[in-house]
Amino acid sequence: MTRIENHPILGKLGSKKAVTFTFDNQAIRGFENEPIAAALLANGIRTLRNHEETAKPRGIYCNIGHCFECRVTVNGIQGKRACLTPIKEGMVVQSGKQLASPVRDWSANHV
């Protein structure tokens, strides 16, 4: 895990409670109440989902909740923004996957 241990404004990291959660069935360590995206980035994970149609990797973009690029599934609830959702012990996080595109298949039959 790569972290800034002593930040000039936020202070020392050592006083925060370490927690474990899973991301795509992989155990990840982070600090309680830090955003999921921050913990994943600190653990070297940059791809949070794949685009629903193209399957291109997507990750943190704005990091303030505006762009929705960091959508993940948290404890079975889809569409949670990883940049705004705080980590809790035992949380289960799943990345977004490519979806079937029935609209594209439908339009191909009406050329």
Q: Which domains does the chain have, with CATH numbers?
A: 14-94 (3.10.20.440)
Closest to 65 in 3D by CA, of 90, 96, 91, 36: 36
One digit per residue, the tens of pLDDT, for the chain of length 111 reads 678 888 888 778 777 899 999 999 999 999 999 999 999 999 999 999 998 888 899 999 998 999 999 999 999 999 999 999 999 999 999 998 877 765 566 666 666
Contact partners, residue 55, CB within 8 Å, separation at least 6: 98
Phi, psi (rounded to 5 degrees) for 10: -80, -15
Q: What is the pTM of this model?
A: 0.81
Q: Output the 3-class SS for 6-37.
A: EECCCEECCCCCEEEEEECCEEEEEECCCEHH
Q: Residue 93: what pLDDT?
A: 98
Amino acid at 75: N
